[in-house]
Amino acid sequence: MPGLAPLLLGDGRLPVGAYTYSAGLEPAVAAGLTRDDVPALLRARLRTAAVTESAAAVLALRAARADPVDYEPVQRALAARTPAAPLREASATLGRGVHRLARRLAPDHPAVTALSSIHPRPLRPVTLGALGAVMDVSEEELAHGVIYDELQTITSAALKLLPGDPLDTVAWILAAEPDATAAAHEALAVRNPAGLPARTPLLTEQWALEHARRERRLFLA
């Protein structure tokens, strides 16, 4: 079915994401963020972490289509730009799910087999790049898919953490479209791992460290 792959990549649940990860929403709620603040959080994420992750996924897709496939420069650059250990661990955990899906779809694809050489574990944007190669999506489709996945993950978590009208979450995503488009364009403009933006949302990093110490939580981060 033409066009289905980018839609799947943009689903915040693929393969387990929004079920275990809130893209920083749960720690933000614990710090006092309210339902009315969610649109501002979406915009902030689109201008920071989402640009970095989308660009890393695109760089990984380019690496996946090279011969030989070498993800290490992208993996190292992304890890260096994710200073909070809980967020790196969450990304690696989510990456494991994407890696498992890629192996199921195309176990012998060079883009998939190369993931196994990354230690300790490939981060999620790197595995999304590999999956993009398997599903033969364009760089533009992948960049927009990762950005939309960010929106879907946060709004899906909001339905659990800050219950309200589900139509509100759709309105939030539609209102964020200009920032989402700008983020995708910025991600596509990154040419190499050295140029990967270091867009660390400082409060998200702080909240993630606090969240990792909590005994009662719904999401990894």
Shortest CA distance to 57 belongs to which of 130, 117, 154? 130
- Do 76 and 148 touch, CB atoms closer than 8 A? no
- Classify residue 86 by its DSSP letter: H
pLDDT tens for each residue of 154-180: 999 999 999 999 999 999 999 999 999
Give the pLDDT of residue 7. Answer: 72
Does the pLDDT of residue 1 top 50, yes or no?
no
Using the predicted structure, report yes or no on whether residue 16 has a pLDDT greater than 90.
no
Mean pLDDT of the chain: 92
Q: Where are the alpha helices (DSSP H) in the chain?
A: 4-9, 17-20, 25-30, 38-47, 49-64, 72-80, 85-105, 110-113, 124-134, 139-161, 166-175, 177-188, 202-212
pTM: 0.93
More confident position, 87 or 217: 87
